[in-house]
C-alpha cells in the first residue's frame, strides 16, 4: 500500500475507534487542533506515565513540577521568543498556499538524500555480502554528484538562516527551481517572518489589561522555578526538573494530523550540570532517551539521531531522535545542550541571582543545562503508526481473511483485558461480570457480549487490547477460562483465580521500565 494510503487509514482508524477526533467537528473543525477520544486519552495518559516514571521514579536526582501556562510576559522577552521565535513564511501566488521557506528547502535537500539512499540500496542488492557502503559512497559518481548538491544548498541555507537573511532564503528557492506542490509553479512572494506565539489579554481593560502569551514551550516554567526547587528540595548538582504540560504554537503550516498541532503537549526535562561537564551529560541523555524509545520494541532500525549542524546561538550541541513515520524519518524528540543561556537571561531581565552554590567547589555559578523535549502527541502518533497493522490470516479451509490490529505494548494499551461470555445465557454472563467486577480495581477491563466471539476479538484487536478472556460451559465445571493473546492469537486455558497474577505481570510498567 502506498505510504499516503497507510497514513490515511491510520487517521480514519483513530477516528473510527475513539482515539482521535478533529476538534469542533460539528462546526467543520478547527485547523491543527484535535481531541482525544475514550481510548486516545488512556493511551496518552499511559505514554505520559511511562515518561514520568522513567524520569522521576528511576532517577533520585530528578523531580517534577507543574507550572502555569500563563507566565509573566517578560519571561518570553528574556527567553528570546518575542524577538526570535519566528518561522520564515512564503506564499505561492497561484495556489495561494502558504509554506515555511525553511521546510521547502529542507524537503528539497531530502530529495537528494533519497536519491543517494536508493543508489546505495540498489548497489547493496547487486553486490550482496561483498558490499562496502563507505567505499561506494566515497566513489560512486551519482552519489558524489548528489552529495555535492546537498552540501552546496546546505552551506547557503545555514548561512541564510543564521543571518536571518530572508531574501537569500527566497533566492535559494528560486535558484533550485523549487515549485509549489499544489500549483507546480515558481510564482513565489517575498519571505516574511512570522511569530509563532499566541497572545491574549490579562485583566480588564479599565485597569489596563496587559498582553500575555500562551506558552510555546514548558521549559521556561522550569527555568524560572529552578532555585525554588533547588532550595526547597535541597537538590545538588547534577539534578533535573521534569514537567508535562500544554504548549501552543501558531504553526504556519499545520499538516500531517497530530504531528504538527497548534495546541499540543510536551514532556520536558531540564538537567542542571556543572559548566564544562555539559557535553558528557549531553551524550549520556542521548543514550538514555534512545533506550526509552527502543524499549517499546518497534525495531531499532526505525530510529536514528539527526545531529544539528546549524546550532541555535545558545546551544553548543543538539540532536533530534527521529522515528520512521509513514511519511519518512521525522523528529519526535529534541535533546539540546543549552549552555547557561536561559538562566543567565532570566538573571539579567529579573535582576534576581540565578546562581547555585556548589558546596564541593566552594563557589557559585550559573549551571549549564541539558534539555530533553518530546511532544506527547507526536509520540502518540509514533506509537499508533508503529502499532497499527493489517494482517492476513490463513484459515483452516485454505481461504484467508484479514484483521486490523494495534500491536501496542501491553502497558500502553487503553484496555488491558476484555471479558466475554461465549453466549448470553446459562449463567456465563454473570461469571464474566464478576471477573470484571473483581479485576477492575487493578486493570482497565471491558465486558463485551455483543456479536460472535470472532467479531468481538476483531474489535478488541482494533483497539489494541492485549488479552481477551472467554467464559464457556467448561468454566461452569472447573472455573477455568481461555485467555487469548492479541499478537499470537494463541489461546490458553487458565483458572479464574490465576487471572490477576497472569495479567498483572504482563501489563505492569515495571517490566517496561526494567528494560531502560
Binding residues with ligand ATP: total (CB under 6 A): 16
Residues 6 or more apart in contact with residue 208 via CB below 8 angstroms: none
Q: Is 348 helix (H, G, I), strand (E, B) or coil?
A: helix
Q: In Å, what is the CA distance from 226 to each residue of 36, 54, 237?
A: 32, 21, 12
Choose which of 333, 340, 448, 461 interacts with ligand ATP (CB under 6 A).
Answer: 333
Q: Could you give the string, one character per residue 455-494, with x where binding to ligand ATP holds by CB under 6 A and - elsewhere? A: ----------------------------------------
- Which segments within 432-503 are labelled E, that is strand? 445-447, 467-471, 480-485, 491-495
Cβ–Cβ under 8 Å, residues 229 and 63: yes
Q: Is 266 or 475 the residue whose CB approaches ligand ATP more closely? A: 266
Choose which of 67, 146, 243, 266 interacts with ligand ATP (CB under 6 A).
Answer: 266
Rounded-to-10 torsion of CA 315, 316, 322, 327: 60
In the complex, the smallest distance separating the C-beta of residue 218 from ligand ATP, rounded to whole angstroms, is 9
326 makes contact with ligand ATP (CB under 6 A) = no
Site for ligand ATP in 188-227 (CB under 6 A): 217
Q: Is 374 or 387 the residue whose CB approaches ligand ATP more closely? A: 374
Beta bridge partner(s), residue 368:
273
Beta bridge partner(s), residue 400:
394
332 makes contact with ligand ATP (CB under 6 A) = yes
The 10 Å CB-count burial string (b at 16+, else e) for 443-464 is bbbbebbeeebeebbbbbbbbb
Q: Is 256 or 404 the residue whose CB approaches ligand ATP more closely? A: 256
Q: What is the CA radius of gyration of the chain?
A: 27
The residue of the chain with the least Cβ separation from ligand ATP equals 375
Q: Looking up cell 540565578, which residue turns up? A: 354
342 makes contact with ligand ATP (CB under 6 A) = no
The 10 Å CB-count burial string (b at 16+, else e) for 415-428 is bbbbbbbbeeeeeb
Q: In Å, what is the CA distance from 203 to each residue of 73, 198, 214, 404?
A: 13, 17, 15, 51
Choose which of 39, 257, 264, 467 interacts with ligand ATP (CB under 6 A).
Answer: 264
Q: Could you give the string, one character per residue 363-402, with x where binding to ligand ATP holds by CB under 6 A and - elsewhere? A: ----------xxx-xx------------------------
Q: How many CA atoms lie within 13 A of 26 on its CB side?
A: 0
Applying CB under 6 A, the span of 47-55, 171-179, 326-334, 361-369 interacting with ligand ATP comes to 326-334
Q: Is 47 or 418 the residue whose CB approaches ligand ATP more closely? A: 47
Rounded-to-10 torsion of CA 142, 143, 146, 152: -130
Q: Is 156 or 378 the residue whose CB approaches ligand ATP more closely? A: 378
249 makes contact with ligand ATP (CB under 6 A) = yes
Query: How far is residue 341's CA from residue 63's CA, in Å, rounded to a whole number?
Result: 22
244 makes contact with ligand ATP (CB under 6 A) = no
Choose which of 215, 260, 286, 484 interacts with ligand ATP (CB under 6 A).
Answer: 260
Applying CB under 6 A, the span of 19-27, 328-336, 339-347, 479-487 interacting with ligand ATP comes to 328-336
251 makes contact with ligand ATP (CB under 6 A) = yes
In the complex, the smallest distance separating the C-beta of residue 334 from ligand ATP, rounded to whole angstroms, is 3
261 makes contact with ligand ATP (CB under 6 A) = yes
Of 331, 321, 325, 330, the C-alpha closest to 291 is 321
Applying CB under 6 A, the span of 146-154, 327-335, 354-362, 439-447 interacting with ligand ATP comes to 327-335
Binding site residues, ligand ATP, CB under 6 A: 217, 249, 251, 260-261, 264, 266, 331-334, 373-375, 377-378
Amino acid at each position: 500500500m502506498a505510504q499516503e494510503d497507510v497514513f490515511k487509514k491510520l487517521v480514519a482508524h483513530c477516528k473510527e475507534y475513539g482515539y482521535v477526533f478533529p476538534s469542533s467537528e460539528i462546526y467543520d473543525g478547527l485547523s491543527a487542533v484535535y481531541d482525544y477520544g475514550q481510548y486516545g486519552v488512556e493511551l496518552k495518559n499511559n505514554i505520559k506515565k511511562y515518561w514520568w516514571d522513567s524520569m522521576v521514579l528511576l532517577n533520585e536526582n530528578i523531580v517534577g513540577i507543574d507550572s502555569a501556562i500563563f507566565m509573566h510576559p517578560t519571561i518570553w522577552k528574556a527567553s528570546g521568543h518575542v524577538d526570535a521565535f519566528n518561522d520564515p513564511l512564503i506564499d505561492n501566488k497561484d495556489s495561494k498556499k502558504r509554506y515555511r521557506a525553511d521546510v521547502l528547502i529542507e524537503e528539497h535537500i531530502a530529495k537528494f538524500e533519497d536519491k543517494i539512499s536508493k543508489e546505495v540500496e540498489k548497489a547493496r542488492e547487486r553486490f550482496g555480502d561483498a558490499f562496502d557502503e563507505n567505499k561506494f559512497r566515497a566513489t560512486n559518481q551519482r552519489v558524489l554528484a548528489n552529495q555535492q548538491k546537498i552540501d552546496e544548498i546546505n552551506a547557503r541555507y545555514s548561512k541564510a538562516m543564521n543571518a536571518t537573511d530572508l531574501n537569500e532564503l527566497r533566492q535559494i528557492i528560486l535558484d533550485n527551481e523549487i515549485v509549489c506542490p499544489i500549483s507546480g509553479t515558481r510564482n513565489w512572494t517575498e519571505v516574511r517572518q512570522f511569530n509563532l506565539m499566541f497572545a491574549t489579554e490579562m485583566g480588564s481593560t479599565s485597569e489596563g489589561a496587559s498582553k500575555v502569551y500562551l506558552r510555546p514551550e514548558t521549559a521556561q516554567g522550569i527555568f524560572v522555578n529552578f532555585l525554588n526547587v533547588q532550595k526547597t528540595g535541597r537538590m545538588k548538582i547534577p539534578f533535573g526538573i521534569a514537567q508535562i504540560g500544554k504548549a501552543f504554537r501558531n504553526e504556519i503550516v499545520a499538516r500531517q494530523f497530530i504531528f504538527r498541532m497548534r495546541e499540543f503537549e510536551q514532556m520536558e526535562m531540564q538537567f542542571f550540570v556543572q559548566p564544562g561537564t555539559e557535553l558528557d551529560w549531553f551524550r549520556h541523555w542521548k543514550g538514555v532517551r534512545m533506550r526509552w524509545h527502543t524499549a517499546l520494541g518497534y525495531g531499532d532500525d526505525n530510529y536514528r539521531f539527526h545531529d544539528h549542524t546549524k546550532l541555535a546561538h545558545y546551544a553548543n550541541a543538539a540532536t533530534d531522535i527521529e522515528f520512521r513515520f509513514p511519511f519518512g524519518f521525522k523528529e519526535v524528540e529534541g535533546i539540546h545542550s543549552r549552555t547557561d543561556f536561559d538562566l543567565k537571561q532570566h538573571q539579567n531581565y529579573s535582576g534576581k541571582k540565578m546562581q547555585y552554590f556548589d558546596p564541593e567547589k566552594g563557589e557559585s555559578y550559573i549551571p549549564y543545562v541539558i534539555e530533553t523535549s518530546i511532544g506527547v502527541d507526536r509520540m502518540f502518533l509514533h506509537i499508533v503508526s508503529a502499532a497499527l497493522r493489517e494482517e492476513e490470516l490463513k484459515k483452516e479451509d485454505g481461504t484467508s481473511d484479514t484483521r486490523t490490529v494495534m500491536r501496542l505494548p501491553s502497558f500502553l494499551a487503553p484496555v488491558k483485558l476484555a471479558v466475554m461470555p461465549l453466549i448470553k445465557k446459562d449463567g456465563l454472563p454473570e461469571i464474566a461480570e464478576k471477573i470484571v467486577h473483581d479485576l477492575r480495581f487493578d486493570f482497565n477491563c471491558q465486558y463485551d457480549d455483543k456479536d460472535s466471539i470472532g467479531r468481538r476479538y476483531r474489535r478488541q484487536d482494533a483497539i489494541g487490547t492485549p488479552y481477551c478472556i472467554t467464559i464457556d460451559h467448561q468454566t461452569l465445571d472447573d472455573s477455568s477460562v481461555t485467555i487469548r493473546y492479541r499478537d499470537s492469537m494463541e489461546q490458553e486455558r487458565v483458572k479464574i483465580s490465576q487471572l490477576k497474577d497472569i495479567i498483572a505481570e504482563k501489563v505492569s510498567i515495571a517490566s517496561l521500565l526494567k528494560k531502560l
